[in-house]
């Protein structure tokens, strides 16, 4: 069998690949994963040539699975990390199409150097499986990391900030320069950690909450009175003070209260 060497696995622009080659940074990312005395299940997204995988496999209390879409990387991992072949630990496929409930344990931590071109989509998928994903440690574009962790009142605060912070505590851990990648990206990167908070369900209609957040930020320069016009709200509730504010001025709890207000006004209209 032909041995696949590192220089034979090349990053593919179509997959948004930038291979991390700095062992110190790789170890720091893995060390950011919170592992206690009990074994945890971990999914690594896009391991590439296994720079994080090597460190993850050394942790006794980590039960590791990896998912990789690139065939060349899969072939490399099979040869150089044969332990992954035991018990279907190496999944060849697209994380975005994975049925997480069927494939993964009820509780799982996620780690990876996420492709920058689909990082937001990855987090929306994680959100839809928030009952299962209790921790995420990842590297992504610095601006996206800052947007996720941003608080109300900042220009970077937006849809992803609010919806993620509703269910996760978010912390930017450290920044990473382009030189540690092959090829170097044109942007700075950052490593971020998300930990599931104790909110099982928001105290409002969660689908309406997402709709209100998205609609509010789609016209972020306008007051909520104007930004939410498409929701056909009763005129009597839009006179309340909260509608004088812009979406970027509301924290998660304020968005929950706004959603409840809209929900109650609709329920009241239906009873008339």
- pTM of the predicted protein model: 0.90
Q: What is the CATH number of domain 206-271?
A: 1.10.8.100
Contact between 248 and 220 (Cβ < 8 Å): yes
Name the β-bridge partners of 42.
Answer: 64, 109
Q: In 10 A of CB 188, how many CB atoms?
A: 14
Domain 6-196 has CATH 3.40.50.300: no
In the chain, CATH 1.10.8.100 covers 206-271
* pLDDT by residue, tens only, the chain of 272 residues: 455 555 556 655 656 667 788 999 999 999 999 999 999 999 999 998 899 999 999 999 999 999 999 888 899 999 999 999 988 899 999 999 999 999 999 999 999 999 888 899 999 999 999 999 999 999 999 999 999 999 999 999 999 999 999 999 999 999 999 988 877 778 899 999 999 999 999 999 999 999 999 999 999 899 999 999 988 888 888 889 999 999 999 999 999 999 999 998 876 555 44
Q: What local confidence, expressed as pLDDT, does residue 8 receive?
A: 55
Q: What local confidence, expressed as pLDDT, does residue 88 receive?
A: 82
The whole-angstrom separation of Cα 105 and Cα 109 is: 10
Q: What local confidence, expressed as pLDDT, does residue 232 receive?
A: 85
Q: What local confidence, expressed as pLDDT, does residue 223 receive?
A: 95
In the chain, CATH 3.40.50.150 covers 6-196
User: Dmax over Cα atoms in the chain, in whole Å?
Assistant: 76
**For residue 219, what are the CA distances in angstroms to 222, 224, 225, 228?**
6, 8, 11, 9
Q: What local confidence, expressed as pLDDT, does residue 207 receive?
A: 95
Q: 133-141 and 108-113 as β-strands: parallel, antiparallel, unpaired?
A: parallel
């Amino acid at each position: 069998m032909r041995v696949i060497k590192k220089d034979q696995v090349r990053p593919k622009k179509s997959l948004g690949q930038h291979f991390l080659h700095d062992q110190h940074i790789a170890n720091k990312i893995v060390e950011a994963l919170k592992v206690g005395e009990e074994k945890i299940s971990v999914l690594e997204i896009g391991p590439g040539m296994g720079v994080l995988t090597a460190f993850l496999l050394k942790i006794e209390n980590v039960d590791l699975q990896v998912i990789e879409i690139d065939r060349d990387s899969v072939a490399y991992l099979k040869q150089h990390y044969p332990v992954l072949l035991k018990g279907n630990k190496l999944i060849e496929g697209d994380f975005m199409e994975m049925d997480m409930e069927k494939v993964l344990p009820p509780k799982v931590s996620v780690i990876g150097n996420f492709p920058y071109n689909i990082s937001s989509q990855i987090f929306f998928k994680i959100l839809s499986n928030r009952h299962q994903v209790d921790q995420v440690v990842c590297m992504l574009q610095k601006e996206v990391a800052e947007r996720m962790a941003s608080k109300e009142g900042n220009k970077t605060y937006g849809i992803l900030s609010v919806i993620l912070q509703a269910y996760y505590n978010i912390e930017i851990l450290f920044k990473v320069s382009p030189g540690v990648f092959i090829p170097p990206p044109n942007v700075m990167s950052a490593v971020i950690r998300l930990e599931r908070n104790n909110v099982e369900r928001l105290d409002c209609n969660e689908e309406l909450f997402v709709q209100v957040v998205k609609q509010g930020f789609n016209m972020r320069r306008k007051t909520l009175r104007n930004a939410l016009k498409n929701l056909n709200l009763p005129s009597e509730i839009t006179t309340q003070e909260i509608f004088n504010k812009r979406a970027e001025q509301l924290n998660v709890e304020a968005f929950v209260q706004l959603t409840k207000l809209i929900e109650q006004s609709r329920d009241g209209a239906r009873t008339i």
